[in-house]
Amino acid sequence: MKQQLEQIKATALAALDAAANPVALEELRVKLLGKKGELTAVLKQMGKLSAEERPVMGQLANAVRADIEKKLEERKTALDAAALEAKLASESIDVTIPGEEIVMGHQHPMNMVLQEIKDIFVGMGYQVVDGPEVELASYNFTRLNIEEGHPSRDRSDTFYFNDEDSVLLRTQTSPMQIRAMEISEPPICILAPGRVFRKDEADATHSPMFHQIEGLVVAENITMGDLKGALITLMKRIYGQDLQMRFRPHHFPFTEPSCEMDMQCHKCHGTGEVDGQVCSTCHGEGWIELLGAGMVHPEVLSNCGIDPEKYSGFAFGMGLERMAMGRLRINDLRLIFDNDVRFLNQF
């Protein structure tokens, strides 16, 4: 039996030395030390030994087992270390390779101008509000004093959603006046920028979708002087302190009196001519129309439950793209919507 144990030990240690990976090592462990292993088989024969021999062989068997276990442990440590080494070598990275350049974008030029305009009005105490693009005809037209049959209600101009023409894509931000007056009491002082939609073919100055900025102030003793003060302040801040402006009488159903505001053409400085040619920016007018405005019509105040005897107000609506084109000297509206990075990178 002693020989048998010596033999087992010798082959076991040799096999362990030869084991090439952790899986092979585990298989060996089961084969050598497991219940069906060789060592166990020898130990099962201990009963046949004499009383003197038994402790001697028992001790020897335990020593063999301990040696095998020790060897197993050593091989496992060595193989694990080798595996880690190989993994690290295969996953090594070269930290000196230059990184990929990250290209930073920036705000769209139209939003830059919108932000400037918002900042100016917020500084004057206006609250910036948002409203639905899908609007009811009663808000977009009726309660703004725009009667049935008015040309702006025509199906050739407006995107309707139903046969009764009662739901539409808003054609102007003016319905936000109604929404503001409906939910709050004077004093009201709001700015409502947003998208509007009209059935226009796209060209250098038209687009079926564009942006407007609506303003509304309602309180006691509001006059046309307040309207002019707010709008002149805005335009001077945007276009410079030397800007020449004018207010012209006009008509809008929801304001009375109504006006349009123009600025002097920055290209021809009001002469209407550049190098003997008709100025292409203002088409010879000398002036560029900026917005529509006026004193809120008493009918519109009443439509929103506000007493026109006690309160008065002014409103204005301007095209954001037109403001941005003037501010940034952009000559074609389509450039604003194309989003060609070669264009956008210029701002």
Question: For binding to ligand DAH (CB under 6 A), which residues are involved?
Answer: 172, 174, 214, 252, 255, 292-294, 315-317
Residue from 188, 165, 160, 172 nearest 131 by CA: 172
CA pair distance 22, 28, nearest whole angstrom: 10
Buried b (16+ CB within 10 A) or exposed e, 242-281: eeebeeeeeebbbbeebbbbbbbbbbbeeebebeeeebeb
Tokens 């020449």, located at residue: 244
Q: How far is the CB of 180 from ligand DAH (least distance, A)?
A: 11
Q: How far is the CB of 141 from ligand DAH (least distance, A)?
A: 11
CA pair distance 198, 156, nearest whole angstrom: 9
Q: How far is the CB of 178 from ligand DAH (least distance, A)?
A: 11
Q: How far is the CB of 338 from ligand DAH (least distance, A)?
A: 24
Q: How far is the CB of 105 from ligand DAH (least distance, A)?
A: 31
Is the sign of the CA dihedral 235, 239, 244, 249 positive or negative? negative
Going along the chain, which residue ranges are E strands?
127-128, 134-136, 167-169, 188-197, 209-219, 245-252, 255-264, 273-274, 277-278, 287-296, 312-319
Q: How far is the CB of 172 from ligand DAH (least distance, A)?
A: 4
How open is the CA angle 133-137-143, to the nearest 5 degrees? 110
Q: Measured from the CB atom, is 31 or 250 closer to ligand DAH?
A: 250
Q: DSSP letters along 277-294, please?
A: EE-TTTTT-SEEEEEEEE
Q: Measured from the CB atom, is 145 or 172 closer to ligand DAH?
A: 172
Q: How far is the CB of 173 from ligand DAH (least distance, A)?
A: 7
Q: What are the two backbone dihedrals, phi and then psi, of residue 203, each rounded to the nearest 5 degrees?
A: -145, -160
Q: Measured from the CB atom, is 16 or 260 closer to ligand DAH?
A: 260
Query: What residue is closest to ligand DAH based on CB?
Result: 317
Which residues does 295 contact at the CB level (< 8 Å), separation at least 6? 222, 223, 224, 227, 255, 256, 257, 258, 312, 313, 314
Q: Measured from the CB atom, is 207 or 255 closer to ligand DAH?
A: 255
Q: Measured from the CB atom, is 62 or 127 closer to ligand DAH?
A: 127
Q: How far is the CB of 322 from ligand DAH (least distance, A)?
A: 11
Q: Measured from the CB atom, is 37 or 292 closer to ligand DAH?
A: 292
Q: How far is the CB of 318 from ligand DAH (least distance, A)?
A: 8
Q: What are the two backbone dihedrals, phi and then psi, of residue 137, each rounded to the nearest 5 degrees?
A: -60, -30
Alpha carbon of 143 to those of 98, 139, 187, 269: distances in Å?
63, 6, 20, 40
Q: Within 10 Å of residue 143's Cβ, how many Cβ atoms? A: 23
Q: Measured from the CB atom, is 210 or 239 closer to ligand DAH?
A: 210
Q: Measured from the CB atom, is 9 or 297 closer to ligand DAH?
A: 297
Q: Measured from the CB atom, is 37 or 319 closer to ligand DAH?
A: 319
